[in-house]
A and B are shown apart, each in its own frame.
Chain A
Amino acid sequence: MAAVATNSKKNGFFLWGMSPNSRREAIWGYIFLSPWIIGFLLFTLIPTVATLGFTFTNIVIVQEGAKPLAFVGLDNYTTLVKDSQVWESLLVTLKFAAIALPIGILLPIALALLLNSKHLRLANLFRTLFYLPYIIPFVAAIFLWSGMLNPGTGWINQALRAFGIANTPNWMEDVNWVYPSLVLIGIWGIGNDMMISLAGLQGVPTELYDAAKVDGAGFLTTTLNVTLPMISPIIFYNLTLGIVGLLQYFLVPLVLNSGTGQPGNATLFYNMVIYKTFFTYQNMSYGATMAWLLFLITLGITLVLFKTQKYWVYYAAESR
């Protein structure tokens, strides 16, 4: 690719205008790139553009009442605006994100800070233990958690009762406890983010800590003014992916309660509604419309993050 780029700079991007040698190199470059390009076109770009087209039609899996496939204009979009389930499920998703995201960002950093401490013995063992849950097959882990969170027989409630707490939570059936339950399940898998944060922490130059110590900075001041700014690119990375992941969140509730949204629609996440619209309600066009709305929301939030990063993300290797 570098050879292609270099030669392109000299002779133009496309094959015309190139010298025969350059053209030959460029052709080989494209040949090696072609598997990815073909795959990207066939399985990502073209289907994505196709779904945009779907949003203007009435594609369903089984055409009810022998209605033919037709162009319906903006009908799906006007229905989207009127559909209370869309906005309620978006609200559910945002409510859950408001609880889960701060924990998902701060907890890995906190754990990484602990693991990075020079006073910690057996750091390798703790690192392994914290990371291990991440590699357990995901669906198996969810089933495990559903057993642990069972209000009657789950060991969490049994332990709480052993400590004298009689009124134990009905974790997955109580609207007040279902989000903490989902966050608990999610916390179990923060090993990966913790490792990334730890890698970032270990990349902070020690002379900065020495300088802070000399200036009389305590742990909190050092963390706030040295550590966090230095690992802000890691935080930015985790935040971006965290937001994207939370907006797409649905696999846990799907496995836990088959996508019913119980209790009381508290777990009817937006992506769950998309999934059900496609595969349960068989309404491909409307599902595509919802998916595009999700894409625009995700894109908007991501662009805001990228735009605002200059105010709080410090790239040590670059100038601001």
Chain B
Amino acid sequence: MNKKSLLLISLLTAMTMLFAACAPAVQPAAPAQPAAPVQPAAPAAPAQPAAAVAAPTEAAAQPAAPAASGNKVVIKWFIGLGTGSDPEQQEPQKKAVADFNAAHPNIDLQMEVVTYNAAYDTMATELASGNPPDVVGPVGTSGAEAFHGAWLDMTDLIKETNYDLTNVDPMTVAFFKTDQGQLGLPFAIYPSELYYQPAMFDEVGLSYPPHKYGDKYKMPDGSMVDWNYDTLRKIAMMLTVDKKGKTPNDTGFDPKTIVQYGFVDSDQNLRGIGNYWGPDSIVEADGKTVKIPAHYVAAWKWWYAGMWKDNFIPTQAVIQSPEFGATNSFNSGKFAMSINHLWYTCCIESAGNKWDIAAIPATPDGKKVAEMNADTFRITKNSKHPKEAFEVVRYLINDQALNLLKTYGGFPARKDLQKDFLAALDEKFPQKPDWQVMLDAIPYQDIPNFESYTPNYQETINRLGTFQQLMTAQGDVDMDKEIAKLKIDLQVIYDKKTK
């Protein structure tokens, strides 16, 4: 063998060894574990409303069936990015599919159900492989923005089919309109409201929070003040007590022995807290520059002080503790007030049967804002049959509305269906909460929504979540420094997808 050949063999062997060393089959020494061929749980995704609050079960993913024979157009309906993958939801969904197929002989609608934990990865794989589903839903804003750019603008289809949008609030239509067009139609909405425990207010002689947007609040001294977050802070501090019955306003108050908190913002993220002070975006109009609105900073500082200085908001350790509901805080019965969405009625069975709902406080400049979650069905941009897909969406949102809304626990965006839904809620909650508050909140939804688009969406949410975890875990955070760092990090994150 000559020198050249030997060199070539050696080089190939060395490269082989190097690449083999990088292969996933390597058996590392303890304590590192070997890479087992296992389906890992998907990373944490933004919370989804309604039935997804209960952990999705491990219903097996049902792959799409082969295309129907004949001249039928096959439409694939992907379920799992939001609710819809629980076992008890399958029969109603199958019924919806069967009814649709019976009524549409030219279309073969096929379901693909994926568990929530695997849905993001599955959807990403299908998009990347050029085999996207046609219809996706029900999916909320967060789930949809994780695949920003993948959705069809339905404007032309709405015009062509003369789709009737007069039976929904115009704000709910605007909710799904972005710079990329009308990407969804109103289906299920979940306005936010202030859940509160009247008994706790009675105990300290406080007036209840106002139920009408724009009403003032009566303080203990009889003065009428604006119902905003400053007022909420004041009364929340009066409603927070330690085991000796002292409040944060009292000398000798011990924050380590609090038995009742005045306020908790359940399931809210930093953008949601920011939107309490007024809806905004964390992206400039150019779509690639970070913006941290000044009022977001103010809202975050208010919230942080509420946890560590004024002590009326629980920290993460408290929220996670079993004594305070193990993340289902208001349900523990130890919180006087909580902001949450309508879908929270799924999970409130232990909060007693006396709670009620009130208007969300106004922003510091007096604006009425009630944040919204909303689910709908979307059509992928690369669907080969957009017209047929739109027919499916139209059918699910209208003809199957009652069947599916009941399945998903969603409040109808259609005004003509809302009365029946509220009647069902009254049966479930005998104290008959003031649902009118929730209806009144619809026009005040936050646009831009607190889950609206940012570049590199999932990574942005992740980075914000890291900052939020820091705030809830440590009482000595330099907020200005961390926010400055957040801004730099977010710009790097945006640049990854916008350059």
Residue ranges of A at the interface with B (Cβ–Cβ < 8 Å): 5, 8-9, 12-14, 40, 44-45, 48, 58, 60-66, 72, 75, 79, 82-85, 100, 103-105, 107-108, 137-139, 152, 173, 182-183, 185-187, 189-190, 192-193, 238-239, 241-242, 244-246, 248-249, 251-252, 254-255, 258-265, 275-277, 279-283, 286, 295, 298-299, 302
Contacts and interface: CB of A to CB of B under 8 A. Distances in A.
Interface in B444-490: 455-456, 458-459, 462-463, 465-466, 469-470, 473, 485, 488-489
Interface in B112-161: 117, 120-121, 124, 127-128, 147-150
B38 A251 contact: yes
Contacts, number: 197
A258 B34 CA distance: 18
A254 B22 CA distance: 20
Nearest to B179: A65
Contact of A186 (B21, B30, B488): B30
A239 to B, nearest CB: 7
Interface in B8-51: 8-9, 15-16, 18-23, 26-36, 38, 40-45
Interface string B256-278: 00000000000000000000000
A152 B27 CA distance: 34
A84 B287 contact: no
A296 B496 CA distance: 22
B40 A255 contact: yes
Task: List the 3 closest pairs (A to B, CB-CB), nearest first.
Answer: A245-B28, A186-B31, A190-B30
B5 to A, nearest CB: 4
B32 A63 contact: no
Contacts of B419: none
A299 B492 contact: no
A40 B38 CA distance: 22
B107 to A, nearest CB: 26
A299 to B, nearest CB: 7
Nearest to B470: A264
The winner among A62, A79, A83, A275 for most chain B CB atoms within 10 A is A62
Given A8-B1, A79-B496, A276-B462, A241 B29 contact: yes
Contact of B473 (A251, A260, A264): A264
B88 to A, nearest CB: 24
A216 B248 CA distance: 73
Contacts of A108: 29-30
Contacts of A104: 29-32
B106 interface: no
Given A139-B38, A298-B22, A281 B459 contact: yes
B55 to A, nearest CB: 12
A65 B453 CA distance: 11
A262 to B, nearest CB: 7
A45 B18 CA distance: 10
A189 B22 CA distance: 22
Given A245-B32, A261-B466, A286-B496, 10 more contacts: A45-B15, A248-B28, A251-B33, A252-B33, A258-B41, A263-B469, A279-B124, A281-B462, A283-B459, A295-B22
Nearest to B30: A190
Nearest to A5: B1
B320 interface: yes
Contact of B124 (A61, A189, A239): A61
Contacts of B492: 79, 82-84
Nearest to A97: B32
B223 interface: no
B33 A283 contact: no
B41 A13 contact: no
Nearest to A294: B22
B147 A62 contact: yes
A103 B31 contact: yes
Contacts of A302: 21
Contacts of A9: 1
B33 A186 contact: yes
B29 A238 contact: yes
Given A13-B5, A40-B16, A83-B492, A62 B43 contact: no
B498 to A, nearest CB: 7
Contact of A8 (B5, B320, B466): B5
B1 A173 contact: no
B495 interface: yes
Contact of B498 (A64, A182, A246): A64
B1 A13 contact: yes
Nearest to B19: A44
Contacts of B5: 8, 12-14
Contacts of A189: 30-31, 33
B375 to A, nearest CB: 20
A104 B31 CA distance: 5
Contacts of A265: 466, 469
A302 B21 CA distance: 10
25 contacts: A12-B5, A13-B9, A44-B23, A48-B19, A60-B497, A62-B149, A64-B149, A79-B492, A79-B499, A84-B485, A104-B30, A104-B32, A173-B320, A183-B31, A187-B30, A190-B29, A245-B33, A249-B32, A251-B36, A261-B466, A279-B43, A279-B120, A279-B121, A280-B458, A302-B21
B181 interface: no
Contacts of B21: 244, 298, 302
A72 B32 contact: no
Contacts of B63: none
Contacts of B128: 61, 282
Given A108-B30, A241-B29, A48 B22 contact: yes
B294 to A, nearest CB: 24
Nearest to B1: A9
A12 B9 CA distance: 12
Contacts of B498: 64-65
B206 to A, nearest CB: 34
Contacts of B8: 13
A83 B491 CA distance: 10
Contact of A138 (B23, B33, B120, B150): B33
Contacts of B287: 65
Contact of B30 (A79, A107, A259, A277): A107
The winner among A44, A64, A252 for most chain B CB atoms within 10 A is A64
B2 interface: yes
A12 B80 CA distance: 60
The winner among A60, A72, A105 for most chain B CB atoms within 10 A is A60
Contacts of A264: 469-470, 473
B148 A244 contact: no
B8 to A, nearest CB: 7
B322 interface: yes
B477 to A, nearest CB: 12
Contact of A262 (B32, B147, B469): B469
A226 B458 CA distance: 55
Contact of A281 (B38, B456, B485, B489): B456
Interface in B377-432: none
